[in-house]
Every structure is written in C-alpha cells, then in structure tokens.
C-alpha cells in the first residue's frame, strides 16, 4: 500500500493543438482517500478532483505524504485516476513563481 496521501497539481483547462492548457496561476492540493491509495498515482497523471465548480481534471505535479497535524487543513478529495502518464513523452516546462516544474507534455489522441 502506498503511503502518499496528498497530490499537488494544476487544473487542466482543455487542449490546444493536442497539448494541455493548464491554469498555472496557483498550485492546488487534494487529499487521496484510503480507498484509492492502492492506485499508483504519479507525477504527470491526470486525476479527477472535487472543486467548488464540480469535478475537474488535474495534472499531478507532486505526490507526497503530509503529516503536519498543526496545519489542520482539510483538502477536497481525489475521485479517481483518469489517465496514466504515457511512456513516450516530450517535456513541457511550466514555471510558476520562480519554480521550474518538469511536467510531462501530454498528447491526447496521439496518431502513430
């Protein structure tokens, strides 16, 4: 069983020329419920998460275990894994507030 209980990532707004359009204004965090922790969620995966505006897709940037009980933050839940990261990828650099995240560029409906 995987001990990671939190994901961090960017909202997926849609696709443009078969590339993902991301909202990189702010990185958001979600809680991974115990019932889906057995599902291997990794960087570059797309998961379905709860938001104020309903369920939305999220590109995962980081998966980690958060144990700081002093924060007492309640995150909304990850609902399910929508798509695993493909094995063949190109790199897309997403910069936010001085950080450089090596996020994998995702191609939907890739033609071979």
**Prediction pTM value:** 0.71
pLDDT along the chain (112 residues), means of 10: 85 84 89 90 92 92 82 85 69 47 44 34
pLDDT at position 69:
66
Q: Is residue 95 in a domain?
A: yes
End-to-end CA gap in the chain: 35
pLDDT at position 86:
64
Q: Is residue 112 in a domain?
A: no
SS (H, E, C) 3-44: CCCEEEEEEEEEEECCEEEEEEEEEEEEECCHHHCCCCCCCC
Q: Both tokens of residue 67?
A: 């144990």
Q: Is residue 85 in a domain?
A: yes
Residues 6+ apart with CB under 8 A from 46: 12, 57, 58, 59, 60, 81, 82, 83, 106
pLDDT at position 39:
87
Q: Is residue 29 in a domain?
A: yes
Find the domain containing 41 and state its range.
6-105
């Amino acid at each position: 069983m995987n001990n990671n209980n939190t994901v961090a990532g960017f909202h997926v707004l849609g696709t443009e020329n078969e590339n993902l359009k991301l909202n990189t204004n702010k990185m958001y965090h979600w809680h991974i419920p115990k019932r889906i922790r057995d599902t291997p969620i990794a960087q570059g995966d797309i998961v379905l998460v709860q938001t104020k505006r309903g369920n939305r897709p999220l590109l995962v940037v980081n998966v980690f275990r958060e144990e700081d009980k002093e924060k007492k933050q309640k995150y909304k839940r990850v609902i399910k894994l929508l798509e695993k990261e493909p094995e063949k990828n190109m790199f897309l650099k997403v910069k936010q507030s001085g950080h450089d995240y090596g996020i994998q560029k995702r191609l939907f409906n890739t033609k071979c």
